[in-house]
Structure 1
């Protein structure tokens, strides 16, 4: 808040509360303060009281930005402005008032938490709550009212540059993980802002591409995580997307925002535009947008001194209200929602104070990174590497040293520290082992690329173990907002380098840093492969703890790794990226493993795949009762035993198959999962309860969810490709 606004707010409060010299007068004034300033009053009463005191101009001022990341309050009434921060992996560095440059603070170096793909790979809702709580504490400490995340757009193609910010290809998994994240954030009096609503699944042409999608695909695949965020998570804010749907931009879309989100789902929070996502005053006013951010700056660079008055929901909106072309109740609804958000956040006296860049948060981030790391392959049990056994360990790859909290677009962070993979390996394996490093490749254009390769290969000949740390990064056309990837293959000559390393040293571990699937033409030559994602502040220690066996890996993939790009349905059907104006989701409901099942395509690594340093045995799957009534449930149970020599965690996955349907359905769909930890020899009965909802599909002719009577199968396994048992049951008619 500016100094003049602070003074104004103080004087306003003083006047309202009747502050005088003399304790009796001051006490009398305090007892008579307005309802909107009295936290003992119900929120809705406070909202209506504040709204009744506001001028038309003050209501409109709530509906648009006043700076890059803030909106106005009502200084006359002592209602403070509201500040937002990009997320969802950490609290972004403070920006200048009207510029994208950092403000130069010395107190805004945050904790970097793992990317949401890593969180999704934990398959651990309890950990998602812990994540949300911690990042919410950091947002609260910096006095942010809104955290601009989490993202739950569907992993439709491995080329989307922003997939690392999302929670994978499956709507059930994304729904289960986003709800506790939201609840954790909002316990701090900070609004989560789930994004990008909706069908914003590519960065190519993201500002102007119109998505053609059938209603069934929309409701079954692309909306469930958003609906869960509203119904189960109670999210306080939703961000519209840049895409166009049904001829209207999603930031002011009648069907998505007015009809679906607010009317059908009963959302009582604030719809915030993506930066530069607003295009028309009348549409924005009438079609559900509440707060406009980033316009006239194109969300990126362009601006001028009076830009904020020229926003679509600023003076142009005010003029339509004054002329009665738009009814005042339209702005009243927006103001109510924004005031409700303020009373939940900035004007909530019970908000905790939060904490920032603490050791506790760093360790939480390390725990998430450790649980999210996926052991993809471990031939001949090359891993784990005993840290006490002396070895000559060669670490190869730019990603072993490169900071991954920088770049990537709006998720870029200014961090207190970041442990690189090389540092982590040195921390865990030195001094028992000699750890050396060779760059091997460079993301910076250089004439020495061949020399870097030869140097690494020569060093690999002399090493006992080679740990290659590569993958993608957050440069443009990698895992980065604003542009998609150009290839499924690794960039910068890494595929050739890995092949050469494997040729001279069979004890090769490939650690992949990425938020996307990659091709692996060298998969048969490399005995151990680890997907480590973007692990945040403690990334290097998390990776090394898994390599050293201190942590038994338990992560599983939240999306499919195809063998080749053409195995992805959006690519196979020429349904990405569109013609520059439109993109048609021709794959329909057959996204990810659903497509592989239907087309009988063997993936490189399956959805839900992940190995352990121990082994698990599944017993017989049973479906209690074998029959479900129209309003009943079925309990599915399976015993799981740790048959190895180490304690470990297994993610037991439940899929449902409709054996006969009037509409095409996937071979199977994820409808439940449990993460259990077992000691060697320990056995646990794992149970799932499924209801009619788990059996339903969206019938676009009826515009409703339908569960047809008939025979269903439940399939229980360790991944979408590793089904260990099944059982059948009947759904009876109503």
Structure 2
């Protein structure tokens, strides 16, 4: 007993010592009660040059070395932002065929953004963090916050929409949730990775103002408010520098202006040069092409840019030792915050609680776009014949898509969810169309005859009371998939014609789209109802059936605009040099006018506006008022109005506060989102809503001063249910 007590006391001493090669050395870094910075310096002082360099590059597909001699663990990362990727072999992308690595598939981040619910974002982060912790991961490679610039971007489904304020507000609680579980979040892809075509080398040119006002705010919020522990560089170039070793992005902005103290990890294969990787802010190099199995292979781990070339440069005095120490400090900081932290919580995997969060996010993210004559909801007690048509009703939508592909423990398809809700005897299914298998990097045609599938679906539609067409995109190459952008906005696999053929035999047809992107809708005026459903994860079918039946009132809002045609989108309006570029350079000619900023300013009517979403009930907005008519840039203004649920169904509304300045020294968008809230109201209930507007948030980025400026003058504060539906406004004078 005495020995146990003494050992316990020893563990809490300010310094401990252990024999290493016959001598006693201090091991303060093992004392979990000491400040992280003290532990970092203690560990750093004991490491050899070789041990330090070894921490700065991969040792396998998803890990980098620790220091086994000192008991410092390896760093293990995992994809992805909406589910924990299956285990892979040491140096292969293929699954290792484990039997205990099937995860909960959470809805993709477009769906999370569509909830406009920061509390749900926190719950999402906590849940996915617990799953990463259960699998003993150090870093979760997500969330993604690149802006929705074009509806053709293959990875838009992984991001949080077109508005920097929305993405900023949603990313912060996600990060807090993940990191509360003892796992580091890794916000990505920093920065301007807004397309997949030529992503590895395209050189993006954008103004400083657009960079700071549109493309950096969500990253800045992740760092300064979310206190994220790691950041992933992007594949593309920015002003002639690869983003994974960009002095401007990583040294000057991220680590300099923003004070980021975590580690920067490269995207896999995103490093191209030792000198730049050493000096321009990168900390861990991952995925540079290698066989990884030997030290004499085509490009082994020891030949990475931050491996032997880095070490030799240090030994020869080409590189500064302090640069190496800074990288290792950052890596150790993350290790001591995660794997070697005090009281690191245990994880959970595929728990009922995680399923509930996944279902709730899916329910609140579904957006009702059209509902003529109250087509929805379809009550369960109607006992009518429902024809479900479309491949997405039965196809897995958690597989494919590139690095975000998941091996889910279960996935309730829309067809299964509808059968469970309405009863199998009332549901008839026809696939209608078929795509090929989900293969990364290439397209494979379907093995089925398209005409036969279409004819069978039309026949099924004839005999039904109601048709639910469940289509959209999938995670095949050239759809919503990493490594390639879409070729057009049209629905693939003949869906547009199939919808029109079904409408000829059954006018009572609704379209439910499952996708991460906007699509063209040539049939929009013909169908009575449209839902945007996203990739909804493991609970997809249950959540969708909840909304279709009216058990859940839809409250999702679009996190990006749906253009009527591709040319209406600002990135495409200016021609190929704006998107996708000339294969070498690309110019963001629309500047700050991204998404609804473009549509509203240029008076181009979108098909569906940013922030739009219908409900099964109705909401009345009272007049807007503010607590002061004049304020300085250091103040906060309270904005007040009454919101009433004037319908007969409980529901939730997302009031959105936009700001306009008509007379300005610089060009401005017609309006910019500055505040939103999600308000839940019982049928007939009224509530006084108070929103706080920071006057400092009205600033624009002054390129001459390289700083933010709040311009004095009169601003219009606009209250709306979407960017195109403004209910009332009030003026505010800013001094």
- TM-score strictly above 0.5: yes
The alpha-carbon distance between structure 1 residues 298 and 681, as it changes in their structure 2 partners (threshold 3 A), is: farther
Tell me the distance in 1 between the aligned counterparts of 2:319 and 2:447: 59
Matched residue, 2:506: 505
Q: Give CA-to-partner distance per residue, 1:588-638, whole Å, 9 cap, x none.
A: 000000110111111110000000000000010112211112322221111
State the match for 1:625 in structure 2: 628
Q: Deviations over 1:368-392 (max 9, x none)?
A: 0000000000000010001111111
Distance across 1 between alignment mates of 2:71 and 2:513: 51
Partner of 1:221 in structure 2? Answer: 214
Aligned pair in 2 of structure 1 residues 515, 27: CA closer, same or farther (>3 Å)?
A: closer
1:107 aligns with 2:110: no
Q: Does the 8 Å contact 1:114/1:536 carry over to 2?
A: yes
Does structure 1 conserve the Cα–Cα contact (< 8 Å) formed by 2:634 and 2:696? no
2:718 maps to 715
Q: Is the 8 A contact 2:599 2:606 kept in 1?
A: yes
Aligned 1:38-57 pairs, distance under 5 A: 38-57=31-50
Number of the residue aligned with 2:703: 700
Map residues 304-453 of structure 1 onto 2, 5 A cutoff.
304=297, 307-430=300-423, 434-444=426-436, 445-446=446-447, 448-453=449-454
Q: What is the alpha-carbon distance in structure 2 between the residues aligned to residue 258 and residue 630 of structure 1?
A: 29
Q: Report the TM-score when normalising by structure 1.
A: 0.95
Aligned to 1:245: 238
Instruction: Summarize deviations over 1:306-360 as a string: whole Å, max 9, x none.
Output: 7111110011000010111111000000000000000001111311111001121
Answer yes or no: is 1:728 the counterpart of 2:720: no
Output the CA distance in 2 between the equivalents of 1:669 and 1:48.
Answer: 45
Contact persistence 2:289–2:299 (CA under 8 A): no
> Over residues 180-215 of structure 1, what are the superposed CA-to-partner deviations in whole Å (9 max), with x where a residue is unaligned?
000000001100000000000000000010001010
Deviations for 1:475-514, whole angstroms, at most 9, x for unmatched residues?
0000000000001010000000011112211211111000
Contact 1:63 1:313 in 2 (8 A): yes
Provide the rounded CA distance (Å) in 2 between the counterparts of 1:260 and 1:26.
Answer: 46
Where in structure 2 are the equivalents of 1:533-552 lying within 5 Å?
A: 533-552=534-553
In the alignment, the residues of structure 2 paired with residue 168 and residue 681 of structure 1 have an alpha-carbon distance, to the nearest angstrom, of 32
Deviations along 1:524-571, one digit per CA (max 9) or x if unpaired, are 111110001000000011001100000000000000000011100111
Q: Any conservation in 2 of the 1:123–1:651 contact (CA below 8 Å)? A: yes
CA positional deviation for 1:297: 3.5
Task: Determine whether 1:273 maps to 2:276.
Answer: no
- Out of 227, 234, 249, which is 1:234 matched to? 227
1:96 aligned residue: 89
Q: Which is worse superposed, 117-126 or 686-695?
A: 686-695
Quote the offset at 1:29 in angstroms. Answer: 6.1
For structure 1, the 5+ residue unaligned runs are: 1-20
Which of 600, 609, 617 lines up with 1:606 in the alignment?
609
CA contact (8 A) 1:658 1:695 kept: no
Give yes or no for contact 1:276–1:298 (8 Å, CA) kept in 2: no
The answer to whether the 8 A contact 1:397-1:439 is kept is yes
Corresponding residue number in structure 2 for 1:262? 255
TM-score normalized with structure 2 length: 0.95
Contact 1:578 1:584 in 2 (8 A): yes
Shift of 1:692: 2.3
Cα RMSD (Å) of the superposition? 1.6
Q: Say yes or no: does 1:687 pair with 2:690.
A: yes
Instruction: Please give the alpha-carbon distance, in whole angstroms, between the structure 2 residues aligned to 1:71 and 1:580.
Output: 33
8 A contact 2:236–2:242 mirrored in 1: yes
Residues 590-605 of structure 1: matches in 2 within 5 Å? 590-605=593-608
For residues 256-309 of structure 1, the C-alpha deviation after alignment (integer angstroms, 9 at most, x for no partner) is: 00000001100000000000000111100000000000012499xx99487111
Q: Deviations over 1:567-591 (max 9, x none)?
A: 0011111110001011110010000
**Distance change (3 Å), C-alpha of 1:503 and 1:195:** same
Distance 2:373 2:7 in 1: 78
Which ranges of 4 or more aligned residues in structure 1 deviate by more than 4 Å?
Answer: 21-31
